[in-house]
Structure 1
Amino acid sequence: MGRTATRERLFTAAIELIAERGFAATTVDQIAERAGVAKGTVYYNFGSKAALFSALLEYGIERFAATLREAADGQEPLTALEAVVGAELAFIGEHESFARLLIAEAWRSGGDWQHAAGLIRERAIGVLAGVLREAVAAGRLRPDLDVEVGASAVFGMVLTVALEWRTLQPERDRAEIQATLMDLLRGRLVS
């Protein structure tokens, strides 16, 4: 198994375990066992539990941000906004445990969690801020819109709605959820 495949398995195992048990209660042994790798492999690749979690948070956040960037790429601003909302819903639908981790752990103060919150702000929420900034510049959104707060609000709204959908109403169609979110956004943001 290559380094990328190993990292992917470790990412999945760690995220699931943290979502189930919390950060403090999750051990490297449990992660290694669930990922199907030797404990030594974890330490060889990362050095410590803290380094493992830091690297895996960065990896997950970058994957999340890349998904959002790809959705927005080359789109007209309001179409890009809809595409990013859809991409966030889809990513959370596929990586529900990671989204739970972001809500439960990433906004804690100090250390790796503060670093993770900064990465979410810079990379994932930053994609939304860029889309909103372009929409304001194109005259598609009101000129006095605070794009930083707006981007955080959209990101948080979609994250919360997506988790509620996956937890309480998984049978609902993602397109229906996205359409409702976009109706809400159009009513609140469009000039």
Structure 2
Amino acid sequence: MNTRGMNIRPAEPAGKELRPARTNATRQKLFEASMELIGERGAAGVTVDEIAAAAGVSKGTVYYNFGSKADLIAQLLRHGVDILKARLASTGTGTSAGAGMVPGEAASGSGPRPDPLLAMEAMIGQAMDFMAEYPSFARLWVSENWRTPSEWQDTFAVLRAELLEIIGAAIESVAAVYPVDETISRGSLETAIFGACFVVGLDRQTYNPERTRNQSVAAIMAIMRGYVVK
């Protein structure tokens, strides 16, 4: 279900402010250490002591910055999504390598308009690179996101909406240039691409490492190209 426009509760418990990490470097170390441990045993099977030791920081530092294990995981989910969002947004203009002008459009004085389909292809490629770099994050997302109830349900709802918004903007850019099938639900299309990025990326890392990045991207782009009317 598309969550954009819904009144979603904040990722943190009401009235509680999480302590900011002292540095982004500390947060990144904790993120990488926790993802490795969670990938091995799941979120419930990992302790704060283990995460702190793996990251090379004291347990006190973790509690000072985050307050509790639940808040730590919530903030590390946020950190991972922020990394992913930055990578997706970096391709949003369609100016990445290989992006060409819109088919059939003559160059104007302001220069050719980049092809939004190629921009989306580059965006999906960035998602595949992220899944390859952080497969344990994808496992945590897939395993916990649809668990009911989940300790981080509110956090997932907020982060999911943010990612869907980026995908929705990319779809909107395509629809502004190409004729599209208006019978297809825009929210369902966003969700299909969103889910495919996680599932195809994770499946490639876990079961089919022989599949190339480009093969994975092409499979997901087939969803989007089916939306464009020939």
The answer to whether the superposition gives a TM-score over 0.5 is: yes
1:190 aligns with 2:208: no
Please list every run of 5 or more consecutive structure 2 residues that lacks an aligned counterpart in the other structure.
1-21, 95-113
2-structure distance, mates of 1:118, 1:163: 20
Q: 1:73 aligns with which of 86, 89, 93?
A: 93
Distance 1:152 1:67, change over 3 A: same
Contact 1:54 1:112 in 2 (8 A): no
Letter matched to residue 122 of structure 1:
A
Letter matched to residue 117 of structure 2:
L
Contact 1:61 1:119 in 2 (8 A): no
* 2:106 aligned residue: none
SS in 1 for 2:91: helix
* 2:75 aligned residue: 55
Distance 1:106 1:139, change over 3 A: same
Higher helix share: 1
Distance 1:62 1:140, change over 3 A: farther
Contact 1:68 1:88 in 2 (8 A): yes
What does the per-residue CA deviation read over 1:138-178, in whole Å, with 9 as the maximum and x for residues that have no partner?
A: 33422333222101101111211111111122233212322
Q: 1:135 aligns with which of 171, 174, 177?
A: 174
Letter matched to residue 94 of structure 1:
E
Contact 2:193 2:220 in 1 (8 A): no
Contact 1:107 1:117 in 2 (8 A): no
Contact 1:78 1:140 in 2 (8 A): no
1:7 aligns with 2:45: no
SS in 2 for 1:105: helix
Contact 2:35 2:134 in 1 (8 A): no
Q: Larger deviation: 176-185 or 25-34?
A: 176-185
Contact 1:62 1:123 in 2 (8 A): no
Please list every run of 5 or more consecutive structure 1 residues that lacks an aligned counterpart in the other structure.
none
Shift of 1:102: 0.5
**Number of equivalenced pairs:** 189
Contact 1:92 1:162 in 2 (8 A): yes
- The higher radius of gyration belongs to 2
2-structure distance, mates of 1:79, 1:143: 21
Computed over aligned residues only, the root mean square deviation of the Cα atoms, in angstroms, reads 1.9
Shift of 1:83: 1.4
